[in-house]
Amino acid sequence: MSAAREEIRQRIAAAVGAPPGEQAVPRTYRRSGALGSEQRVALFCRRVGEYRSDVHRVDEAGVAALIASVCGTYDARRLVVPAGLPPAWRSAELDLVDDHALSTRELDGVDGAVTGCTAAIAETGTIVLTAGPLEGRRALTLIPDLHVCVVQEAQIVELLPEALALLAANGLERRPITFVSGPSATSDIELSRVEGVHGPRNLVVLVAKE
């Protein structure tokens, strides 16, 4: 270090003073919610809708029929699904393609994807995906233009810390985790909104009651 640079460094240190000691970070944020089950589900549905997503509530027995109906609205006929998608969610009206290492080009050629999720967060309207049997690999929910996600009411927690605790309790914290809050959207410096850049332009959430 040159003499001039050292002199400047010393002057700065003298002007700024000694650095403060390490301070404890307060951890007083909420770790558990207080809403009842129905309030929690209603809040999740409202938050999802605020992200310009299409959200529906449905009985478990009506999931397959509703998937077919909403896909018809988006003119989506051929959809990729994870191998672990329950038979009760598979509609005979649709051409469902099980994912067996489909290429990026093949995924781009389907109309959409149908998956489940690992958890959902009511306060932020967020879906949590961990590449499990119900969700499949991350590419399924990033490349197709439409994502239809079935969220079971029992999977909805109120707060993010609760979702993180759930992942840790099930040994999922080291899996590839994706947090989805609405369709893919971004904006430039002039705040012009562009959808579909980093994922599907359309997100349909079906909240299923068992």
Per-residue confidence at 1, pLDDT binned at 50, 70, 90?
low
Domain ranges of the chain: 33-186+194-209
Mean pLDDT to the nearest integer, 162-177: 93
CA distances from 2 to 11, 16, 137 (A): 14, 21, 54
Percent with pLDDT over 70 in the chain: 98
pTM to 2 decimals?
A: 0.84
Superfamily holding 33-186+194-209? NagB/RpiA/CoA transferase-like (3.40.50.10420)
Per-residue confidence at 161, pLDDT binned at 50, 70, 90?
very high
**Which residues, including other chains, have CB under 8 Å from residue 122's CB and lie 6 or more apart?**
33, 35, 40, 41, 43, 44, 47, 156, 157, 158, 159
Quick one: which of 145, 161, 162 has its CA closest to 108? 145
- The mean pLDDT value of the chain amounts to 91
Strands 54-59 and 202-209: parallel
Rounded to 5°, angle at Cα 132 from 167 and 154: 60
Distance CA 78, CA 130 (A): 24
Least confident of 31-45, 55-69, 182-196: 182-196
